[in-house]
Amino acid sequence: MAVTTVAEVMAELAALEDPKARAVNERHGDDHGVNLGNLRALAKRLKTQQELASQLWETDDSAARLLALLICRPKAYGRAELDAMIREARTPKVHDWLVNYVVKKNPHAEELRLAWLADPDPVVASAGWALTTERVAKRPEGLDLAGLLDTIEADMKDAPDRLQWAMNHCLAQIGIEHPEHRTRAIAIGERLGVLEDYPTPPGCTSPYAPVWIAEMVHRKDG
């Protein structure tokens, strides 16, 4: 039988709580203890339920909010609603899933991208940069890539962590996808040195933009 009430869902999430998962998540700034594979399995069983998703979001519980983002209808949200949600998204995973699973599929994504890029809250601004990175890779028409590089060069070095990470991703994506800007993107990365010493596990690509760009271009070129 499908779980359909908030109380039932919250009870199931509580039953899925795993201290080991919580310890791993907390190291990344996330305050829940539910294995994401189990969370996705629950979402698959629940299927799309917009009203339930809205109710789960209102609980302010991170696991419930992640589940809400998996069972919602992304196009059902208005611009003001999504703007409020991005400001309520307190943890990195909730913020990331909200941007990638909901906002990117919403008809207000471009309006929000422009508004959030200029927002004084660095976490909100990071969402604007994430949406910009998506456009750099998939729909660059109309973007001022040279202007984006100007902003990154001026502001990334001293930006707060999450905003810096998002700007760095955009820098790398410009270098990877747009050969005419690649030399400059690499030079900016080398000059700023952002994430140069980031600990990177074996087999993973460094987020340091010059290395990231070189590795991805090498893969694309075969």
Chain centroid to Cα 174, Å, comes to 17
What is the model's pTM?
A: 0.92
DSSP annotation string for 131-183: HHHHHHHH--TT--HHHHHHHHHHHSTTS-HHHHHHHHHHHHHHHHH-GGGHH
DSSP H helical ranges for the chain: 6-15, 19-27, 36-46, 50-58, 62-71, 79-88, 92-97, 109-117, 122-138, 145-155, 161-177, 182-192, 209-220
Residues in CB range of 8: below 8 A, 6 or more apart: none
Which pLDDT score, from 0 to 100, does residue 1 have?
42
Task: For residue 53, give the nearest of 40, 66, 36 by alpha carbon.
Answer: 66
Which pLDDT score, from 0 to 100, does residue 26 have?
82
Instruction: Report the distance separating Cα 146 and Cα 99, nearest Å.
Output: 24
Ranges of the chain whose pLDDT falls below 50 = 1
Which pLDDT score, from 0 to 100, does residue 44 have?
96
SS3 38: helix
Q: Are 85 and 77 in contact (CB under 8 A)?
A: yes
Task: For residue 166, give the nearest of 206, 135, 123 by alpha carbon.
Answer: 123
pLDDT tens by residue, 21-53: 888 878 888 888 898 999 999 999 999 999 999
Identity (one letter) of the amino acid at 93?
A: K
